[in-house]
Amino acid sequence: MWGLGDQVVSSATNFGVTLVAARTLSARDFGVFAILSTVYVLTNGVIRGLVSEPLLVGVSGAERSVWRPAAARAIVGASLLGVACGCVLLIGAALASSSDRAAIIALGVALPLLTIQDTARFAALAKGEPKVALLSDGAWA
């Protein structure tokens, strides 16, 4: 039940952000949002595939002595990948038009934190604590 709630909150916040963006941004700015949203989803998906899902599969139900160092390694790995991808975005921002630069910089700066939050959510699920994963999604919202 808590796992389902976690998925609902995660999906609802993503949908809500897109809905607010669609209602408040100009068509051009919404296009920039859509592109950056796609970059975020793809980046997060790659990091999940490399770090978060192997953690979930590898240590689900394991004892704390196994789970804790694995979760720490996953969070460090996700943060390093998030920083690397964020740096690529910051370099891209230097090449972008001035009107798009702020949005690209914002994603570049936020990306490491977003990947850490998502990996922490997976770590909580691996530990068997879907309530904590739900709270993590609630904090993100």
**Average pLDDT of span 99-121:** 93
CB within 8 A of 140, min separation 6: which ones?
13, 114, 117
CB within 8 A of 84, min separation 6: which ones?
none
Rounded-to-integer distance, Cα 6 and Cα 84, Å: 28
**Average pLDDT of span 99-110:** 94
Tokens for 12? 């609802």
**Average pLDDT of span 116-137:** 86
Rounded-to-integer distance, Cα 132 and Cα 13, Å: 17
Q: How many CB atoms lie within 10 A of CB 88?
A: 14
| Res. 6 pLDDT band, cuts 50 70 90 | low
Give me the helix-helix angle, 98-127 and 2-24, nearest 10°.
Answer: 170
Rounded-to-integer distance, Cα 7 and Cα 15, Å: 12
**Average pLDDT of span 80-86:** 97
Q: Give pLDDT tens digits for 44-72.
A: 999 999 999 999 888 887 888 888 999 99
Q: Which of 8-12, 23-27, 29-33, 46-50 has the lowest mean pLDDT?
A: 8-12
C-alpha to C-alpha distances, 98 to 7, 54, 95, 101, nearest whole angstrom: 36, 39, 9, 5
What pLDDT, on the 0 to 100 scale, is given for residue 3? Answer: 66
Instruction: Answer for the pair 70, 58: CB distance below 8 angstroms, yes or no.
Output: yes
Please report, for the chain, the start and end positions of each structural domain, with discontinuous segments joined by +.
Answer: 2-140
What pLDDT, on the 0 to 100 scale, is given for residue 87? Answer: 97
